[in-house]
Structure 1
Amino acid sequence: MLRLAVTRDVKAVMAANSDILEREKTCSLSLSTCSSVRTNRSLTSTCRPSSLVINEINLNGPEIFPKVNIFEKLECGGMGTLFWGSYGKKGKLVIVKIPNQLDLSADLVKEGHLLSELNRIGSIYLPSFYGIGAIFIRDPFNNEKVSLPYYVMEYIPGLNLNNYIKSYMATYGDAIPFWQVTLFSLETFLAVLDLHNIVGVAHRDLCASNLLISTRKDDSSSIKVIDFGVAKRKGTDDETLQAHYKERIISGRLSYKPPEVLIDGGEGNVDVAMKTDLYALGLTMFFMLTGKTYYYKSEDFHLTDRIPAEALRQIPKDFADIIFRLTNNDISKRLVDYKEINDCLINLFISYGQEAANRFDFIP
């Protein structure tokens, strides 16, 4: 019942968002013509200037991307450019990711292999992965052939949580319902639990923009975690605490990082990064409830709460309590026990689930 209620609201918000409608229209057109059409589009990287920027890739012909038809460019991220495409004889709609620069190729290969490993655990909260390959292009600077990796993953129709919340607030004039917050928070936590405990991976960039609200075959909606470009696995060579302090690199969005990471300047230690994921979960929950993201206003991170006390007082106490514990500046007092987090979220889910049933007049 709760899932069907979520789906109804998701569809209502999408219907009010012209960009989404246009995107879905493009998808339908692409699927209907994928067996006979290959575009003449080329990839031009405009994300970051570099002597190694890939200027142009011809996307024509099956010899370029075996089993994949490329339709058009979707967006350009920090590490790679995403394309619409179809995969296999049935024309399954997919996303193809290609690195923006040649010197990012190794990072994209690592991300592809990580997605392949994550795919084996069968989590419904992670995207499906179809394979990794390579194409050969000529480096425009030395005219030599170079290998350029790419990987293929499922296309997940829907909005990311950041856009969904903004669209919902624009459509209804209010934040998303509490029962949606509880469902999305619980599913995000279960995805993090799978990542941490089954495969030993820290996401390191958990935020509303990297959570997609997807629609399943039974027309129910759920959260899927995406973008593993900066994820880190246990057993990597910078896992030790000493390497953590040597790396001094912050991966992901600063607005979702705890004070100890901002001060120490890195998440090379995977255990530290996993705790950062849980901290980011608390900030994501607050964003779901309010549509707001708070930055530290002082460099003295230990003395400045990320979320002001007056802001927490404006949301229900049961939500405020768990968010405060997840985002406590004192790491020794922070909520990092998986079972306790699970129990807290389950209790919220039970408390607010009836709201969905009442709202949509569902029969138990």
Structure 2
Amino acid sequence: MKQDVFKHGENRDRYRDKRRFIKFLCGSLHSLVYLCVITFSACVSEVQLPIRQVAARLVVDGLITDEAPPYPIKLTLSGAYSSGGGFPEELIINGAVVTITDNGDRTVQLEQDPLLPSYYWVRDTTFRGQAGHRYTLKVVMPNGTVYVSSPELLAPVAPLDRISAEYQRSDGSFGQPDSYRILIDTHDPATLGDYYRWSTFSYVPRWTSFDPQHPPSSGTDVCNTCSCWVPYYSQLTNVLSDALINGNTISHRQVFNSPVYATGKQYVEVRQYSLTRSAYQYWTHFEEQRSRTGSLFDPQPASIEGNVHQQADTTVLALGYFGASSVSKQRLVVRGDTIQYDKFLNRLNKSFIPPGHCPDNFSIFQLGPPVGW
């Protein structure tokens, strides 16, 4: 019995010594790590990496269609700018001579916009794009350098058969609103080599600091309409080749997600464009660059060069693309009366009602729905 008690006491002393040793070791390691952090932090100095200087290049963005003019062509120089600070004057091309010529040898000169000088406009109402014609853009820079585009075919486009909207409830993650999935139906011709691009915009109602059905009972700081309509635009990179669906119906293709921030009507317009093969490849590459996640396995981004080059040296390419497209468009009024008002408001808990009034919260807005719909 005494021997057992002795052994028990001996084991207890050993256990206590081990705990003391471990605490001592941990404390020493903690001090060592802290000392290393302090030492290395004191030794870190800022390294100024050289910034790669790239010569400014011409950037072209615009197209001619078979709709009535005007047609805008945007001309700028590549360079660094921030969206919040406005477009830098040094990147605007002032005084260029810009013309468009069709294959019938008719030429029209564009006019520079005095308020938005980066835009040049075709305003001649007699110059209208025609399917089957080819169009060439020519830009004479202020320093005399001449750029021309490859002749761009204005191909016909299949008409839009139908556009529709399907309500899609959000799962609530990241504060995303519910939306309407905007869908189109069209029939691809039997000829192989048709390419499409879609652009969509919608006028969406927004509530102000209170919703229209429950306005405040008093007060001077009250919006007269209690809501406004704000435009939302799709990406311009929604493109499709008929390589796998030639001659068949393009059915229920989604071209846009129109957000739902308030109950009420939405006004949607879908435009279907024809593309050449080179334009389709350009927009496909553009979307690949835009949608990259930035992981270590992504290829390095590169400049997306289009169909405009220097006349004297075809190896010197501009950025952007000058296109020619036929257009088919349709409009849709989404009534919004299938959304149960009280359930919608309770579920969102007014999270989409911004403070203040429409003019204070949206740079582009209108207090009523668009006219002519």
So what's the TM-score if we normalise by structure 2? Answer: 0.23
Larger strand fraction of residues: 2
Higher relative contact order (CA 8 A, sep 6+): 2
